[in-house]
Structure 1
Amino acid sequence: MIPQMQAPSVTTRIPNPLYYGTNAFLPADYGDPATLDRKNLKSLDAATDILHNALHYVNHKQRDVPDFEDMKAELEKPDETESLKAEISSIKQVFYKDMERFYDVKAVEYKKETEERYKSATPMVTCSRTAIANDEIKDFPLVTEWSDQAERIRYNHLKKVLPLQYEYRRRRDDEVRRQQAQQRKFPETIQEFDTKPRDYQLRIAMWLLADTEARREKYMSQYNWAWMQCTPLLEVFKKDKAFAARIQSMVIEQVNENLSLVFLGHFAQQHTPHVVEKKPQTF
């Protein structure tokens, strides 16, 4: 006697009134998998990337909201070249930490995804090793995805730091030009004279010790000095005997040093042994 199969019990429930008058077998608004074409899949991939990036920023790039004291200090800090340099350095440190955190997160995701693919059963397990490698490269472009996200982070960093670097270079060049102009300026007092470089002091000393006005005019034309700028120090030179003696000593010391160098060069040239090149004998 063959036992009869009992029909399974069916539990019925009242449908949600929200769906009255609708066809339950039609695709949903987001699209049925069978009806998704390449364009829709591409848009879904883009939306997924946007979601992943947003989650990455929320979970791994949190920034503490500054309090009022910090914001006040930020607004009142001096607008100087050194402060701008410190700001650029701070932005770079934040970028380095963001990139380090980004690669750590992606390494964890890659490890998890690799373990899940290893444990899952797919038709690729029956393929050859070459086919498996090709399918993984085709289906899981991890390197491309990571590279795009990393380049996005790098782009945002450069968009923020490059204008600051350009401004820093401009300010630094302006400061160098101002310093050079200040150094080329003819001093009006002894204190300003002491701040000049040694070679510039010698130029001024030679001008002060010039015995004729024509020679002074020559120096002024050569170094772009104006007579009104040179007059105050010339008056100090005429009245202050100690300063005048110092100028004379400086010039004499430089002249003696130059003569010593000339003498040593001439002496070395005279006493250097000459090597006579021996010509090969011909037979």
Structure 2
Amino acid sequence: MSKNGLSESDIPGKPYGDPDSNWDEARKRRYERELRDAAERHSFVQHVLEKKGSFFPSLDEMKEDIGKPDSRTLPGLKGQIRDMKEKHRKDVQDLVDYQAETYWGEVLDATYSSEIVGWDKDTQYSHLQTITPLQQRRTELEKEELERRQRLDRQFPSSIGEYHAISNKDVRLRIARFLFAFERQHQSPAHNHQKEKMMNEFGWAFRQVKPLCDEYAKNAEFKAEVQEILKDVEVRDPRRKPS
């Protein structure tokens, strides 16, 4: 036995050095089990050496033994039995403590391990086969929904009802600005330029914008609503003014 308590016979043979990638699963598991068992034996030997120490009694222990009654007498025999029971109790307690410590260490290792021991590859493969198409389909639907929303955002409402149905405040503000600019396009070049720019940017045709622009021109209540939105923007940010 070497000084660390582990003899050469405790180490499983490694005919190919480290585990060979060509070994079958059974051979790999056997090698790993033998290596783990050897490590556990080494740990236990270290524990015994730490707790039991040297096989030779210390000077104090020898002096104590000299003062004990002769074990051939009844008092001496009773004392020896009592000492052996106490020694056994301590040995058992040490063993229980060691096993508890070892078990707790294994529990912690399993808890904090980044790998799942004994993971079923077939289960994982089946799971991936099922979930991957679903994830791909989800991505496709999300893309379609985004494109649909963008397409709706770029459309121009043809009626007051469609305008009120717009949930995106930025889109509604965009329409309000266009209505304001459309009505004043003949009053200033700036308004006309803004109208033309927005129609080109969002691909709006004249026939698309005219119905709501006509409603804006003749419906005083709707016009007041649109202008109120633009005023609110001015209050929040003086730099943003309807032009």
> Which structure has the greater CA radius of gyration?
2
TM-score (normalizing by structure 2): 0.46
TM-score (normalizing by structure 1): 0.40
Which structure has the higher relative contact order (CA within 8 Å, separation 6+)?
1
